[in-house]
C-alpha cells in the first residue's frame, strides 16, 4: 500500500513539475516563434527588392535575419521625415491626387488611410479603455473595448432622444481579433480601470487571468474649522 502511494505521489510530483515547466517555457517559445515568423515575413517582402551591392548577405554569404525589416523601418522613417517638409508634402499630395482619380484604388486608399490615422493619432482615445455592457441578454455582461462616441449619421439618428451613444467593440473568446461593432447607450456602459492589454489577456485566457484590482480610496473632504469672531 505504501509503495502504491509513493508511486502515485512521485507521478503527481512529476506531473506538477512538467506543468510548471510548460507554463514557463510555452510563453517564451511562442513569443520567439512569433517574433521570428514576423521577421521572416518582413524579410521575404523587402529583401528581394534590395540591390545586391547594398545587401549585407552578399558580402557575408550568410542569411542575416531582420535585414529586410531593419531596412524597411529606416526607409519608412526617412519617408516620414521627408513628408513633413514642403517638397515632400507636395510630392505626397500629387501622389494622392493620382490615387483619388482611380475608381477602385481610391476607395481602398481612403479607407486604409482613415483607419491608420485614427489608430496612430497621438491624441486618439481609440481602444484605450475597457467596459462592460449587457449582452446577449439582461443580467449577462460582456467585456468590450470602448472606441469612442458615435459620430456622423449614426450619432444623428441614435442621439435623437437625447441619449448619448458610444461605439464599442465586442471581441470573442479566446481570439479577440474579430467581433461585433455595437452602439450602446452611454448610461448602460460600465467603464473599467483595466487597460486594453489586460482586457485582452482576460479574454484570451477565458477569464482565468484577471488583472489585479486596487479600489480607489475616496478622499474625505476636510472641513475647515470655523474662525472664531474677533475679540473672543
DSSP string across 95-116: HHHHHHTSHHHHHHHHHHHHHH
**pLDDT at position 190:** 93
Q: What confidence tier does 5 reach under pLDDT thresholds 50, 70, 90?
A: low
DSSP bridge pairs for 180: 170
Residue partners of 89: CB distance under 8 A and separation at least 6: 83
**pLDDT at position 124:** 53
Q: What confidence tier does 213 reach under pLDDT thresholds 50, 70, 90?
A: confident
* CA of residue 56 relative to chain centroid, distance: 34
| Average pLDDT of the chain to the nearest whole number | 78
**pLDDT at position 2:** 57
Whole-angstrom CA distances from 167 to 57, 100, 172, 180, 200 are: 49, 29, 17, 10, 18
* CA of residue 29 relative to chain centroid, distance: 22
**pLDDT at position 4:** 60
**pLDDT at position 143:** 93
What span, in angstroms and rounded, lies between the C-alpha atoms of 194 and 179? 20
pLDDT in tens, 57-111: 777 777 777 878 888 888 888 888 877 777 777 877 787 888 778 887 778 887 7
**pLDDT at position 19:** 79
Is pLDDT above 70 for 160? no
pLDDT in tens, 168-195: 999 888 776 778 899 998 889 999 999 8
User: Residue range 199-217: average pLDDT?
Assistant: 82
pLDDT in tens, 108-141: 887 777 766 666 665 555 577 899 999 888 889 9
**pLDDT at position 218:** 58
Backbone angles phi, psi at 182, to 5 degrees: -130, 155
**pLDDT at position 223:** 55
**pLDDT at position 189:** 92
Eight-class DSSP state of 181: E
pTM over 0.85: no
Radius of gyration of the chain (CA): 28
**pLDDT at position 79:** 80
CB-based contact 130:144 (threshold 8 Å): yes
Is pLDDT above 70 for 227? no
Amino acid at each position: 500500500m505504501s509503495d502504491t502511494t509513493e508511486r502515485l505521489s512521485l507521478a503527481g510530483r512529476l506531473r506538477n513539475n512538467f506543468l510548471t515547466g510548460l507554463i514557463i517555457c510555452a510563453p517564451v517559445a511562442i513569443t520567439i516563434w512569433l517574433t521570428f515568423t514576423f521577421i521572416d515575413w518582413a524579410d521575404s517582402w523587402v529583401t528581394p527588392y534590395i540591390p545586391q551591392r547594398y545587401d549585407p548577405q552578399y558580402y557575408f554569404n550568410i542569411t542575416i535575419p531582420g535585414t529586410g525589416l531593419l531596412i524597411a523601418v529606416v526607409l519608412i522613417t526617412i519617408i516620414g521625415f521627408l513628408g513633413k517638409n514642403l517638397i515632400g508634402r507636395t510630392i505626397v499630395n500629387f501622389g494622392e491626387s493620382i490615387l483619388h482619380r482611380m475608381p477602385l484604388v481610391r476607395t481602398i486608399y481612403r479607407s486604409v488611410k482613415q483607419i491608420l490615422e485614427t489608430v496612430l493619432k497621438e491624441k486618439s482615445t481609440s481602444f484605450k479603455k475597457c467596459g462592460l455592457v449587457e449582452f446577449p441578454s439582461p443580467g449577462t455582461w460582456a467585456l468590450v473595448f470602448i472606441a469612442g462616441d458615435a459620430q456622423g449619421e449614426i450619432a444623428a439618428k441614435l442621439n435623437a432622444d437625447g441619449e448619448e451613444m458610444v461605439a464599442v467593440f465586442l471581441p470573442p473568446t479566446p481570439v479577440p481579433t474579430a467581433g461585433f461593432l455595437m452602439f450602446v447607450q452611454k448610461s448602460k456602459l460600465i467603464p473599467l480601470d483595466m487597460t486594453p492589454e489586460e482586457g485582452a489577456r482576460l479574454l484570451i485566457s477565458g477569464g482565468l487571468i484577471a488583472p489585479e484590482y486596487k479600489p480607489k480610496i475616496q478622499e474625505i473632504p476636510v472641513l475647515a474649522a470655523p474662525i472664531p469672531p474677533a475679540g473672543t
